[in-house]
């Protein structure tokens, strides 16, 4: 089927639209400014969304908040790492909100009141949890699965959220954090979480270079004696790495380990030895049980499963797989053509009325979809006329 081959390759290799936007799996939605009522000043943010994201789509995406947008080298590397892992089916498509921290505010934003009379760490928490997160959920289709990523002072700040916001955050990645301020020592405080209980697994990852080795060893020592099945915690030490090099060294393994169980479940579904589509919910529920939230499998895995069955001439199974795919990717409209093609392979005399109805439905769905560029839509419509005339 020409349509299938053309767009299958477009997804898994590149397209001119993707190349033009710098990422394989994401698009920059906008840069904007939020006037925070809690902080009392403006905050510049960027919003990056998966290529399948669409405002009016019934689909939720994990939320990743990255601090320190003002440092383009590390910030861009983090987003490119997210893009790389997403494109290789190692982590799910996510909403990314990047927050800038101006130099004049950065110190107070990450300081607590027992250290500094002008400290605004508690106001910053309210900005994140009462302004940014509700906006992401209401306007951007963000789910309740949340990851926070911070470097240096924001490494300290994100670590502090283990003790104040753990019920409302699922994973924290602290890049070159320090753990102490006046009257604060997180390496001791971590033991206070020994009795913390959660139905899902919380993740804490930190990494330190040659800047704070004493902090690393003290926190690592505390974690060695820390036993809590609800909190998966781990640190990495890069002895000779500079302060600004650590984000690039830490981010990939941290994200991989956070989503390793998600990848494991979707890979079990994709396994060529598995063909009981009716048990798909089993794998989906494994993810929900582990992460406490529904996290959709990647398009590559779901679509690949359908094509596996199609190429094996198990057309009923292919249709089932693509129907599952449509629940997560309703705007990937050509799926309706894959299903029609599979039906025609099973029944060479499929009534023309059924074919016409399927094509009409596809055209309506394609018109609503924002997954495709106008050029791609035109090409698809032309190929439909050729393939299903």
Which pLDDT score, from 0 to 100, does residue 226 have? 85
Which pLDDT score, from 0 to 100, does residue 76 have? 96
Beta-carbon contacts of residue 228 (< 8 Å; ≥ 6 apart): 193, 194, 195, 196
Which pLDDT score, from 0 to 100, does residue 88 have? 97
pTM of the predicted model, to two decimals?
0.92
Question: Thinking of the domain 36-258, which architecture would CATH place it in?
Answer: 3-Layer(aba) Sandwich (3.40)
Query: Tens digit of pLDDT for each residue in 126-148?
Result: 999 999 999 999 999 999 999 99
Please say if the pLDDT value at position 114 is more than 90.
Answer: no
Please say if the pLDDT value at position 379 is more than 80.
Answer: yes
pLDDT band at 2 (very low <50, low <70, confident <90, very high): very low
Beta-carbon contacts of residue 350 (< 8 Å; ≥ 6 apart): 343, 344
In the predicted model, what is the mean pLDDT of the chain?
91
Question: Thinking of the domain 264-387, which architecture would CATH place it in?
Answer: Alpha Horseshoe (1.25)
- pLDDT above 90 as % of the chain: 83
In the chain, ranges of CATH 3.40.50.1820 domains: 36-258
Which pLDDT score, from 0 to 100, does residue 375 have? 96
| Nearest-angstrom CA–CA distance, 200 and 292 | 5
- pLDDT above 70 as % of the chain: 94
Which pLDDT score, from 0 to 100, does residue 19 have? 37
Query: Tens digit of pLDDT for each residue in 246-278?
Result: 999 999 999 999 999 999 999 999 987 776 777
Query: Tens digit of pLDDT for each residue in 305-351?
Result: 999 999 999 999 999 999 999 999 999 999 999 999 999 999 999 99
Which pLDDT score, from 0 to 100, does residue 274 have? 72
In the chain, ranges of CATH 1.25.40 domains: 264-387
Query: Tens digit of pLDDT for each residue in 159-196?
Result: 999 999 999 999 999 999 999 887 788 998 898 998 99
| Nearest-angstrom CA–CA distance, 23 and 79 | 9
| Nearest-angstrom CA–CA distance, 80 and 26 | 9
Which pLDDT score, from 0 to 100, does residue 10 have? 39
Please say if the pLDDT value at position 43 is more than 70.
Answer: yes
Which pLDDT score, from 0 to 100, does residue 115 have? 66
Say which range, 98-102, 109-113, 217-221, 260-264, has the weakest mean pLDDT. 109-113
């Amino acid at each position: 089927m020409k349509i299938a081959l053309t767009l299958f390759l477009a997804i898994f290799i590149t397209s001119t639209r993707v190349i033009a936007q710098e990422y394989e799996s994401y698009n920059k939605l906008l840069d904007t400014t939020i006037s925070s009522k809690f902080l009392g000043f403006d905050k510049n943010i960027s919003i990056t969304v998966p290529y399948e994201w669409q405002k009016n789509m019934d689909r939720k995406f994990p939320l990743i908040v990255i601090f320190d947008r003002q440092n383009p080298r590390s910030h861009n590397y983090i987003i490119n790492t997210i893009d790389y892992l997403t494109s290789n089916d190692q982590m799910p498509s996510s909403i990314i909100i990047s927050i800038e921290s101006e130099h004049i505010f950065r110190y107070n934003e990450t300081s607590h009141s027992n250290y500094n009379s002008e400290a605004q760490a508690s106001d910053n928490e309210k900005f994140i949890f009462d302004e940014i997160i509700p906006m992401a959920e209401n306007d951007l289709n963000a789910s309740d699965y949340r990851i926070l990523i911070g470097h240096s002072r924001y490494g300290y700040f994100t670590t502090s959220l283990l003790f104040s916001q753990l019920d409302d955050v699922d994973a924290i990645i602290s890049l070159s954090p320090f753990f102490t301020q006046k009257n604060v020592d997180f390496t001791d405080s971590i033991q206070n979480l020994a009795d913390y209980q959660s139905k899902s697994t919380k993740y804490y990852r930190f990494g330190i270079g040659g800047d704070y080795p004493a902090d690393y060893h003290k926190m690592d020592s505390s974690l060695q004696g820390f036993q809590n099945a609800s909190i998966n915690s781990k640190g990495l030490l890069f002895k000779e790495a500079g302060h600004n090099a650590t984000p690039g060294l830490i981010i990939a393994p941290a994200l991989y380990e956070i989503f390793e169980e998600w990848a494991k479940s979707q890979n079990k579904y994709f396994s060529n030895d598995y063909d009981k589509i009716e048990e798909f919910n089993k794998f989906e529920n494994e993810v929900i049980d582990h992460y406490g939230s529904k996290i959709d499998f990647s398009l590559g895995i779901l679509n690949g499963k359908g094509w596996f069955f199609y190429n094996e001439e198990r057309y009923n199974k292919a249709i089932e797989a693509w129907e599952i795919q449509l629940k997560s990717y309703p705007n990937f409209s050509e799926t309706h053509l894959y299903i029609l093609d599979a039906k025609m392979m099973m029944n060479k005399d499929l009534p023309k009325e059924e074919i016409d109805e399927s094509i009409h439905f596809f055209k309506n769905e394609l018109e609503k979809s924002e997954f495709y560029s106008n050029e791609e839509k035109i090409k698809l419509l032309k190929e439909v006329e050729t393939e299903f005339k």
